[in-house]
Structure 1
Amino acid sequence: MTSNFSYFARPLRTALLPLVAALVLAGCASTGEVSTGITTPVQFKEQTAKGAAAVTTNAAPAQAAGNWWVAFNDPVLDELVERAAVNNTSVQQAAARLGEARALARTVDADRSVQVGLGAGASRQAGIDRNLSNKPSTLLNAGASVSYEVDLFGKLSGASNAASLDAQSREALLQSARLLVQAETAQTYLSVRALDAERALVREQVDAYADTLRLTERRFKAGDLAELDVARVQTEVAATESDALALDRQRALLEHALAVLTGDVASNFAMHSGEWSTALPAIPVGLPSTVLERRPDIAAAQRSMEAAQARLGVAKTAWFPTIALTGGGGYASSDLSDLFKWSARSWGIGALLSLPLLDGGRREAGVLGASAQLDGALASYREQVLVAFREVEDQLASLRLLQEQSDVQARAVASSRRATVLSDSRYRNGYVSQLDLLDARRSELRNRRLALQVKAAQYQATVGLIKALGGGWDVPAVVAANATVKG
């Protein structure tokens, strides 16, 4: 009895050996935690002293950016940004890609469920059995089938998890697209308002030169001035008017760009000139670097990295066997009237264990490819974090230096205005030539335009900082971190 059992047990152990080995190695399908290797400072360099402590941070789930543009207190800006967030084609494309990713995730997840199907058929056959007549006969059948793949090694759950992470990445990219469009809309609008102010300044100077030209022409006709004086003023009038026309052209192009951002046809879009009364939000002191965790592009890069990690685990499961359970039941009969009788019933169940032995290196190549994709996703995530820090530091440095430049430029404007007043007085009293007066006016115009351009750059850098921070700094993490730093 013992020898008989051993006789049958040896083949059984041999047959189950691949399965036992696969069960032992099943833990190898997990890739474990992946270290990003990124160490970030507690605060940004531009807002903290050197030598701050360093911590390693991981991205949190993407947070929807708030209505950060309301801090500028401009109703026109509010309307344009809200229109762009809905009608912009880039946002709509990102939303469509998100819908596609979610549908794909549902498709992949469906593979983990029991598959049930109904079927019916009819066939006409002859010569099946030599002992019977070769007369053709009809076979009718109807029944149901059930199949289920046992996810013993996490292949299906890993694929479902990877697809879900892809959908989360697409969701974060949609938020990123909205933020980029909102920021670009705000920057374009602010550029238009800055050009309106500069155009008004240059047009004012054109009118002033025109008055001077009329006075100079009268004095030339009266014989008080030479023709050279007239030519000089005519040159200033033409040159300043040319600058005004160049600004008009720039404004028209920006207005057309604003139409595209808001999803409107450039021919139907118009934004009237208005006063530049937009408020400039103040930047809080001591911004912690953790605010970057809200950036949607960083969250998207992390989700892509996690999806690549999950796919590496799926690739490793190719070394393990696949177990599928099947079942079916129904009726079969050569006579339609007997098809659903109890005597015509049929059923069957089965289990299939498959394990490829030789595949020419296909599974190994799949693992290597998935590993390379994970390396690429990790590098992409690291790059996104590095770019985020660079963008924030760029805008913080720009705001700091622009404020200093604004203060210096304000003094230059005040001095040039005083020089113009003195030159005009001395010219009227005959102490200086007309050339000196024109130089003073030209210097004043240049400095006033530079002051406007510095102001415009401050607004652009503020919007750029908000975009770099992921949609503002008004988040609980900022408040808590500031309290910790102050404490």
Structure 2
Amino acid sequence: MNRTYSRLRTALAPLVAALVLAGCATSASIDPSSLPATPTAFKESTGPIASAAPEAQAQGPWWKVFSDPVLDQLVEQASRNNNSVQVAAGRLAQARAIAGATDANRSLQVGLGAGAVRQTDAAANNRPKTVVSAGANLSYEVDLFGKLSGASDAASLDAASREALLRSTQLLVQADVAQTYLSLRALDTERALVRDTLLAYRNTLRLTEVRFKEGDVAELDVARVRTEVASTESEALALDRRRAELEHALAVLVGEVASSFRVTPGEWATALPVIPAGVPSTVLVRRPDVSAAQSTMQAAQARVGVAKAAWFPTFSLTATGGYAAPEIQDLFKMSTRVWGVGALLSLPLFDGGRREAGVQNANAELDIALANYREQILVAFKDVEDQLSALRLLADQSEAQSRSVASSTRATVLSDSRYRNGLVSQLELLDAQRSELRNRRQALQVKAAQYLATVGLIRALGGGWMS
């Protein structure tokens, strides 16, 4: 009895030692001081910053705040057909499939088998005989040290990261569509302004040519107006080229062929939403790219534990049951039943450093994921600060530009009156008209920049500011 107990104790010693050391196989911990400190508030906003953990969540149709049916249609079309979104969706499906396959390793494995073997029988003077068999095989690995559960958790976190990246891709595409469309509408307005000015210059040129033929003005006046007409025509054609490029870019975003895609030029009636102060307080909670980086880091943490668990033994339970007979007609008789149960304990001793290299690789992957997570947090705060400062400065610039447009318009009216009364030369009138056109175009560009910065801020906030 004592001898049997001693043998059993000796056999189980490695397992007991492994159980004692099992605590070492836990996931690696993250030092909170290694992450960027969350500021109490943004420089450009009075609202506090929430420090809650990020969550991948849909933020709804944020683009509808611009109240533009064409924009709504384009964004919804891009959400269905954009290739980048479809690639991200495919990668999410892959990650979920891998997570399912990894989790399946924790389940009971059942298989059926049948076979026929022709062999010699030593007990019967090595005469050949046939053995026919059929049965079921069962196996189950007992997850004593969390290796299987850790691998399953890591795969699930990978899938969560891919889901967040899908949301990030959707948000990026939506923002790109909105910014490209708004740039297109701003360009339509600028094109109309330049072409109206070109029409006025052409009318002036016809009148100047008539007066030149009648001897009222010199040829120099005609040359000056012709110069303005040609220069303005060149600017109009440059705007046409830029519009074609934007329209082609928009076609790619919505998943259509550029040759058959068209956005009809129209009035720029898109509303400009006002984002209230304090709303970017939940930037880390809402941004899907931050959530994806966090899930990737957590998956790397789990894989450190999986790599450490490779040092500990694996314990598997097996069972077989079925029938074996020399003749197929006797296969399923009660007398031919066979069965077996077993347990397998595998304890690795020497592998040339493979497991240690695996732990080092897992730790390196964690360091990379942690650095990427830190970078994503810094980029998130930087993006919000960029757009908030842009909106503040653009508002001041818009007010200053409005004064400039008003002054240049007044100067054109006065110059035209003085020119008609012969008090100034045509050169002064052309200078005033040129200055007014330049200031009006700059005002349009500032307005477009305000729209683009608003979209940029919405994207930086993770797709809106409503809770």
- Scaled by the length of structure 2, the TM-score of the pair is 0.97
Q: Is the 8 A contact 1:325 1:352 kept in 2?
A: yes
Is 1:313 equivalent to 2:305 in the alignment? Answer: yes
Is 1:60 equivalent to 2:54 in the alignment? Answer: yes
Provide the residue aligned with 2:37 in structure 1: 39
Q: Is the 8 A contact 2:54 2:287 kept in 1?
A: no
Q: CA deviation at 1:288?
A: 4.6
Provide the residue aligned with 2:207 in structure 1: 215
Aligned mates of 1:368, 1:426 — CA distance in 2: 83
Provide the residue aligned with 1:385 in structure 2: 377
Provide the residue aligned with 2:104 in structure 1: 110
Q: Is the 8 A contact 2:52 2:284 kept in 1?
A: no
Q: CA deviation at 1:272?
A: 0.5
Q: Could you say what secondary structure the match of 2:258 adopts?
A: coil
Letter in 1 for 2:25: A
Provide the residue aligned with 2:46 in structure 1: 48
Provide the residue aligned with 2:173 in structure 1: 181
Q: Is the 8 A contact 2:411 2:432 kept in 1?
A: yes
Is 1:328 equivalent to 2:324 in the alignment? Answer: no
Is 1:247 equivalent to 2:239 in the alignment? Answer: yes
Q: Is the 8 A contact 2:280 2:384 kept in 1?
A: no
Provide the residue aligned with 1:23 in structure 2: 19
What do the CA deviations read for 1:119-150 (whole angstroms, capped 9, x no partner)? 00112223x41x42444321100000100000
Is 1:83 equivalent to 2:77 in the alignment? Answer: yes
Q: Is the 8 A contact 2:28 2:305 kept in 1?
A: no
Provide the residue aligned with 2:87 in structure 1: 93
What do the CA deviations read for 1:192-234 (whole angstroms, capped 9, x no partner)? 0000000000000100100110011011111111111111110
Q: Is the 8 A contact 1:42 1:288 kept in 2?
A: no
Structure 2 counterparts to residues 353-432 of structure 1, below 5 A: 353-432=345-424
Aligned mates of 1:25, 1:465 — CA distance in 2: 50
Is 1:232 equivalent to 2:224 in the alignment? Answer: yes
Aligned mates of 1:153, 1:393 — CA distance in 2: 46
Q: Could you say what secondary structure the match of 2:351 adopts?
A: coil
Provide the residue aligned with 2:114 in structure 1: 120
Is 1:139 equivalent to 2:131 in the alignment? Answer: yes
Q: Could you say what secondary structure the match of 1:45 adopts?
A: coil
Q: Is the 8 A contact 2:283 2:380 kept in 1?
A: no
Identity %: 69
Q: Is the 8 A contact 2:25 2:305 kept in 1?
A: yes
Is 1:455 equivalent to 2:444 in the alignment? Answer: no
Q: Could you say what secondary structure the match of 1:267 adopts?
A: helix
Aligned mates of 2:305, 2:127 — CA distance in 1: 57
Q: Could you say what secondary structure the match of 1:326 adopts?
A: strand
Aligned mates of 1:384, 1:159 — CA distance in 2: 25
**Which contiguous aligned blocks of 4+ residues in structure 1 show a shift greater than 6 angstroms?**
none
What do the CA deviations read for 1:383-416 (whole angstroms, capped 9, x no partner)? 0010010000000000000000000000000000
Q: Is the 8 A contact 1:85 1:178 kept in 2?
A: yes
Q: Please list every run of 5 or more consecutive structure 1 residues that lacks an aligned counterpart in the other structure.
A: 476-487
Aligned mates of 1:308, 1:292 — CA distance in 2: 20
Q: Is the 8 A contact 1:148 1:325 kept in 2?
A: yes
- Scaled by the length of structure 1, the TM-score of the pair is 0.93
Q: CA deviation at 1:12?
A: 3.5
Provide the residue aligned with 1:439 in structure 2: 431
Q: Could you say what secondary structure the match of 1:25 adopts?
A: helix
Provide the residue aligned with 1:484 in structure 2: none
Provide the residue aligned with 1:71 in structure 2: 65
Q: Please list every run of 5 or more consecutive structure 2 residues that lacks an aligned counterpart in the other structure.
A: none
What do the CA deviations read for 1:156-196 (whole angstroms, capped 9, x no partner)? 01100110111111111111111001000000000000000
Q: Is the 8 A contact 2:147 2:309 kept in 1?
A: yes
- Given candidates 185, 197, 200, the residue that maps to 2:192 is 200
Q: Could you say what secondary structure the match of 1:325 adopts?
A: strand
Q: CA deviation at 1:13?
A: 3.1
Q: Is the 8 A contact 1:42 1:290 kept in 2?
A: no
Provide the residue aligned with 1:482 in structure 2: none
Provide the residue aligned with 2:458 in structure 1: 466
Aligned mates of 1:58, 1:373 — CA distance in 2: 25
Q: Could you say what secondary structure the match of 1:228 adopts?
A: helix
Structure 2 counterparts to residues 165-180 of structure 1, below 5 A: 165-180=157-172
Q: Is the 8 A contact 1:420 1:440 kept in 2?
A: yes
Aligned mates of 1:391, 1:274 — CA distance in 2: 32
Count of aligned residue pairs for this structure pair: 465
Q: Is the 8 A contact 1:162 1:311 kept in 2?
A: yes
- Given candidates 282, 292, 302, the residue that maps to 1:300 is 292
